């Protein structure tokens, strides 16, 4: 009786970027590329096929699901009532939107979870004009949440300026992939089918970021990577992570990690968006040499020394 046919989840790409960065150009490239497929585009705050972008983080009880308004769920639920479902869903957020509530919807709603799979957050950055808005919350959030960033309009800036921009983006988000583009020209396989939210995918931290021994956190939002050998005490880890999400959830934009739990032959992988946490046992470790813990936090007001110390305290 249970449905078995055509039960594949529809991939979803979340497209962000400040006004005028080139989102629409990229969207048109996606639509051209997906020619012949059914692509639904949900445009945030634009007419009815829109979603709300505000998130009132209820820090008293830390319950994000209470604060996602249900609009996106309503729209996706409505779109999915088709025998011939969509092949791909693109959610274009407005330039001023915080992408967090959109991403959280894919973690917290049971219907959205079963019917769709979040592929990646793609952020388009105007390489020349981003500096005017660099300190705005929107720009910082859009960079912090991105799995893929296009440094667009490279023709308007020098190589040196691009290098500087790339470095500053890296210090905000050590996990993102960066591509330099003109007119948002990018290989489609670099932005579609990325499966950035798939826990089976390896954690890929920019090696250069890991090699730097000390990080100056010049940006308001920044990345912290913890790499530690040794096995973790599951209970200690649980209570530490629980406490961390409870007290600093609103400041942690994204986190990802691979952990070596004591007494386990398998890796434990996890990711989080603010207070939402998604983790599970992964494949077995290939060798003892591979056994190490790697965590990345992207957020603000995070105390790197304290995080490292507290994490080490969870080691057996």
Partner 1 sequence: MAANWQDFQPIWRGELSEYVTAIAWLPNGKSLVAGSAAGEVMLLPTGTKEAIALQTATGQSIDCLAVSGDGRFVAAGGQDGTVKIWQINSPAPELITTLENKPAWVDHMAWSPTANHLAFSLGRYGQVWEADANAIATTLNFESSSVLGLDWHPDGKFLALCGHQGARVWHIDDWDDDPQWLEIPSASVAIAWSTDGRYLANGNLDGTLMMVEWQLPENPWVMRGFPGKVRQLAWSQPMTAIGSPLLASCSAESVVVWERDADESIGWASQVLEAHEGTVQAIAFQPDTLLLASAAEDGWVCLWHNAQQLVQVLDGAPNGFSCLSWHPHGQLLAAGGQNGELLMWSQSAAGKGFSKH
Interaction site with partner 1 (CB under 8 A): 1-3, 5, 47-49, 52, 58, 61, 63, 65-66, 68-71, 73-75, 78, 81-83, 109-111
| Shortest Å distance, C-beta 39 to partner 1 | 16
Nearer to partner 1, 109 or 219 (CB): 109
| Shortest Å distance, C-beta 45 to partner 1 | 11
Give how far Cα 112 sits from Cα of 12, 83, 208, 250, Å. Answer: 10, 17, 36, 23
Nearer to partner 1, 84 or 189 (CB): 84
Judge whether 102 and 116 are in contact, CB under 8 Å: no
| Shortest Å distance, C-beta 160 to partner 1 | 45
Task: Give the containing element (helix H, strand E) for 273.
Answer: strand 266-273
Q: How far apart are CA 99 and CA 76, in angstroms?
A: 17
| Shortest Å distance, C-beta 79 to partner 1 | 9
Nearer to partner 1, 53 or 154 (CB): 53
| Shortest Å distance, C-beta 279 to partner 1 | 20
Contacts for 220 with CB less than 8 Å, ≥ 6 apart: 135, 140, 300
Nearer to partner 1, 79 or 150 (CB): 79
Q: What does the H/E/C string look like for 153-216?
A: CHHHCCHHHHHHHHHHHHHHCCCCEEEECCCCCCCHHHCCCCCCCCCCCCCCCCHHHHHCCCCC
Nearer to partner 1, 111 or 164 (CB): 111
């Amino acid at each position: 009786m249970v449905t078995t046919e055509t039960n594949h989840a529809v991939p979803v790409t979340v497209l962000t970027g400040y006004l005028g960065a080139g989102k629409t150009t990229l969207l048109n490239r996606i639509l051209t590329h997906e020619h012949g497929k059914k692509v639904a585009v949900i445009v945030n705050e634009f007419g009815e096929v829109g979603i709300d972008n505000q998130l009132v983080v209820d820090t008293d009880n830390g319950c994000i699901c209470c604060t996602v308004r249900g609009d996106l769920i309503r729209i996706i639920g409505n779109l999915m009532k088709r025998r011939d479902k969509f092949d791909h869903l693109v959610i274009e957020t407005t330039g001023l939107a915080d992408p967090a509530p959109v991403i959280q919807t894919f973690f917290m709603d049971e219907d959205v979870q079963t019917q769709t799979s979040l592929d990646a957050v793609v952020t388009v950055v105007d390489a020349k004009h981003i500096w005017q808005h660099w300190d705005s919350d929107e720009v910082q959030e859009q960079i912090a949440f991105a799995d893929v960033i296009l440094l667009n309009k490279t023709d308007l800036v020098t190589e040196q300026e691009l290098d500087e921009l790339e470095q500053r983006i890296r210090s905000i988000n050590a996990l993102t992939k960066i591509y330099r583009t003109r007119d948002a020209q990018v290989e489609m396989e670099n932005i579609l089918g990325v499966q950035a939210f798939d826990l089976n995918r390896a954690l890929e931290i920019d090696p250069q970021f890991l090699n730097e021994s000390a990080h100056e956190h010049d940006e308001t939002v920044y990345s912290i990577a913890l790499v530690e050998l040794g096995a973790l005490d599951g209970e200690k880890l649980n209570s530490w992570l629980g406490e961390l999400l409870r007290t600093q959830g609103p400041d942690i934009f994204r986190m990802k990690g691979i952990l070596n739990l004591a007494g386990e032959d398998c890796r434990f992988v996890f990711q989080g968006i603010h207070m939402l946490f998604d983790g599970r046992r992964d494949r077995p470790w290939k060798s003892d040499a591979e056994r190490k813990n790697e965590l990345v936090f992207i957020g603000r007001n995070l105390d790197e020394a304290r995080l490292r110390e507290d994490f080490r305290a969870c080691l057996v």
